[in-house]
Amino acid sequence: MLQKITLYKFLNIIRNKIFAFIYPLINNFVSEENKFLRNYVTDRTSGDILEIGAGDGANINYYKNYNNLYLMDNNIDLLKKITSVDKCTLILASSDYLPFKKSSFDSIVTSLVICSVKDVGKTFDELNRVLKSKGKYFFWEHTIVNNKIIYIIKNIFIFIWKFFTGGCNYNIDNTLNIKSIKWGKLKIYQKQSRLVKLLGLYYIYGEIYKY
């Protein structure tokens, strides 16, 4: 049992380091294409802001109006890549248990995160708990196309993909997941991308205004 736990931890460390290396490369490849989406999820944030799954801080320079900015990720190797630490507070934590008090934030942001969380329902419950009434949750995620053949083909390779991409499930229906949120008013939009189109995906983005 001890050997299994040790092996699991070792593989998880290796996986995190691999993803910390791959993640910035992907960001650089599509940096110009994704500027619109990064601007969308950051432009109207204000007050105390929490970004979940902040990675290497790719969004940090897009935030313009805030009192306090918290960047959270469960990958220590990615957080170590954030250099503008004077602009924010770094938090190492998981999305299914946010280490904050109830109604702590005016704005919450996720960008390409929900595909990788362990428990989507628990994550949304935690967002609801720490987001203030009248606060906003801004999201940018990928979701699947309605094509069973592509879905089946991708499912063959999904375990390899998830290992190298921090647990990203590219067959997750994030449109359905986002629409399952009932604690706020939803605005949702679609956008194509050259990268995710190759994987049989497209982007969704929008916001939820908490009641």
Domains of the chain: 2-210 (3.40.50.150)
Q: Does the predicted model carry a pTM greater than 0.85? A: yes
Q: Which of 68, 73, 71, 72 is nearest to 167 (CA)?
A: 73
Which stretches of the chain drop beneath a pLDDT of 50? 1-2
Q: In the prediction, which pLDDT does 2 show? A: 46
Which pLDDT does position 61 carry in this prediction?
94
Buried residues in 5-36 as b, exposed as e (16+ CB within 10 A): eeeeeeeeeebbeebbeebeeeeeeeeeebee
Cβ atoms 97, 67 nearer than 8 A:
no
Question: Is residue 154 within 8 Å of 183, Cβ to Cβ?
Answer: no
pLDDT of residue 1: 45
Q: Residue 6: what pLDDT? A: 79
How does pLDDT run across 164-202, given as a tens digit for each residue?
Answer: 888 999 889 999 999 999 999 999 999 987 766 667 788
pLDDT digits (tens, 9 = 90+) for 56-74: 999 999 999 999 999 999 9
**Helices (DSSP H) in 44-182: which residue ranges?**
76-79, 120-130, 148-156, 158-164, 174-179
